[in-house]
């Protein structure tokens, strides 16, 4: 299975919005509404941020939102805060013969 494609870096100033992309294929992102996003701070385990494209687990601020169009999923962080500086990974379900595939991650810098 091929990894999903994410831009390596993104940046924004406090209060701004930033959107990350996650591009897959018609076999994963395009085929299913099962895209997840994870936030990882340095030295910490990944934390589930978004599941099923746009749903937030309890406790995740509504500043984080997800969407999908065709083979590309997106994560938007609104009202950027310093604590949002982290790595963000997407993953997608890719059928019953796999257990998902990750993107390479995007490093968010809050300027």
- CA distance to 28, 37, 93, 100, per residue, from 96 (Å): 11, 20, 8, 9
Cβ proximity to other proteins: between 5 and 78 the closer is 5
Q: Is there a contact between 11 and 110 (Cβ–Cβ < 8 Å)?
A: yes
| 3 state DSSP class of 89 | strand
Subset of 43-82 contacting other proteins (CB under 8 A): 44-48, 51-52, 57
> Does 9 help bind other proteins (rule: CB under 8 A)?
no
Stretch that binds other proteins, among 13-21, 63-71, 76-84, 97-105 (CB under 8 A): 97-105
Give the span between the Cα atoms of 82 and 38, in whole angstroms: 17
Q: For residue 2, what is the DSSP state?
A: P
Number of residues this chain uses to bind other proteins (CB under 8 A):
28
Given the rule CB under 8 A, which residues bind other proteins?
1, 3, 32, 34, 36, 38, 44-48, 51-52, 57, 89, 91-94, 97-105
């Amino acid at each position: 299975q091929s990894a999903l494609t994410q831009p390596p870096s993104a940046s924004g100033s406090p209060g701004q919005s930033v959107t990350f992309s996650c591009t897959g294929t018609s076999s994963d992102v395009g085929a299913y509404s099962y895209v997840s996003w994870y936030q990882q701070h340095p030295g910490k385990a990944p934390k589930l941020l978004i599941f099923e494209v746009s749903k937030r687990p309890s406790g995740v601020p509504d500043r984080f939102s997800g969407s999908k169009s065709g083979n590309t999923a997106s994560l938007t962080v609104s009202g950027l805060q310093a604590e949002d500086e982290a790595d963000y990974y997407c993953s997608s379900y890719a059928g019953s013969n796999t257990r998902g595939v990750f993107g390479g991650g995007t490093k968010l810098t809050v300027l």
